Amino acid sequence: MVAFTFGKPFPLHNKANGTEYCRADFNDSFFDICYYFPYVDERHINAWGKDVFKYGVFEAHNIPFFLVEFEIEQQRWCFDLSLNVHHILEGDTTIWLKSEGKIIRLYLIEGNTNNLVGLRMISINENAANYIRDICEEQYQNYQSIREVDAKIDKIIDSISTAEMIQKIKMLKTQ
């Protein structure tokens, strides 16, 4: 059993290198968001833990981007998470694509120290969850490898900002 303790190192992996980094960890419930943020302060931690925030799904070239937008003191704090379904272990991809889970655990990890500073669990809109799976199914059929999807993700990220993605879609609110 893995224990998660606030203020202690995140036990699943360590991607803290002083830069902002977001990764998806696929699981039976849906996926986890591990967001390494090197500029975290008390405002971010408080917002992460309890504030209503917006989320949405942007699609480009059969790649879903899960978008998150908080408002802290009338300023936007947003990030995106790309989903590469090829990261799921072989054989489990079909099971994940057919599942009905819509639970996302969000881990806020201090990007310099790897310390867990925020944790939240949300259930997203069923239509949004199904849309993500539909896009991932197309991705799985159209791309042959992790590397191929990652290369396309890099091109998309170079061509459009998170803020522009948010402007192009309808965002939903957490409860």
pLDDT tens digits along 40-94: 999 999 999 999 999 999 999 999 999 999 999 999 999 999 999 999 976 689 9
The range of the structural domain enclosing residue 108 comes to 21-173
Q: Are strands 30-37 and 103-110 parallel, antiparallel or unpaired?
A: parallel
Instruction: Tell me if 7 is assigned to some domain.
Output: no
Whether the predicted pLDDT of 3 surpasses 70: yes
Question: Does 14 reside within a domain?
Answer: no
Number of domains into which the chain is organized: 1
- Residues 111-150 have pLDDT tens digits of 999 999 999 999 999 999 999 999 999 999 999 999 999 9
pLDDT digits (tens, 9 = 90+) for 27-40: 989 999 999 999 99
* Residue 83 and residue 97 in contact, taking contact as beta carbons nearer than 8 Å: no
- Structural tokens at position 89: 């272990």
The answer to whether residue 55 sits within a structural domain is: yes
Answer yes or no: are the C-beta atoms of 28 and 102 closer than 8 Å: no
User: According to the model, what pLDDT value does residue 112 have?
Assistant: 97
Residue 11 lies in a domain: no
The whole-model pTM stands at: 0.95
User: 75-82 and 63-72: which strand pairing?
Assistant: antiparallel
Asked whether the predicted pLDDT for residue 162 surpasses 80, the reply is yes
Whether the per-residue pLDDT at 102 is higher than 90: the answer is: yes
User: What pLDDT, on a 0 to 100 scale, did the predictor assign at position 175?
Assistant: 76
CA dist., res. 135 & res. 89, Å (int)? 18
Taking each continuous run of H as one helix and of E as one strand, the counts in the chain are 5, 8
